[in-house]
Amino acid sequence: MKQTPKEDHDLLYESLLQLNNVEECRRFMEDLCTVTELKAMRQRIEVAMYLREGMIYQDILKHTGASSATISRVNRCLQYGADGYQTVLPRLDPIWEEKKKP
């Protein structure tokens, strides 16, 4: 099997760092991912935000439509993951609060 240089594995992450704003990110992600993949990622972010607020699984399911398996997976990542959510979620707090306003 052909080995891929480590740098190739970082191309995705490096490409994300090249984006300058939400619109560029949106267009890139729409090219990169399927509609279903984007929906799943958006849903996981919402689930993570609700879990961080202490919302229970049943209420998260009602708000997001996420399965209990998805909610559980996100919860495991929040508790035992690579701290990716822990890095990003606090930075999203102002955006999240705006989104929740009626």
pLDDT at 1: 47
Q: 3-class DSSP state for residue 55?
A: coil
Return per-residue pLDDT of the chain as tens, 102 residues. Answer: 455 556 567 999 999 999 999 999 999 999 999 999 999 999 999 999 999 999 999 999 999 999 999 999 999 999 999 999 999 999 999 999 998 887
pLDDT of residue 22: 96
**Token duo for residue 8:** 């190739």
Domains of the chain (ranges; CATH) run 12-100 (1.10.1270.10)
Residues contacting residue 73 through CB under 8 Å, at least 6 positions apart: none
8-state DSSP, 10: T
CA distance linking residue 52 with residue 102, whole number of Å: 21
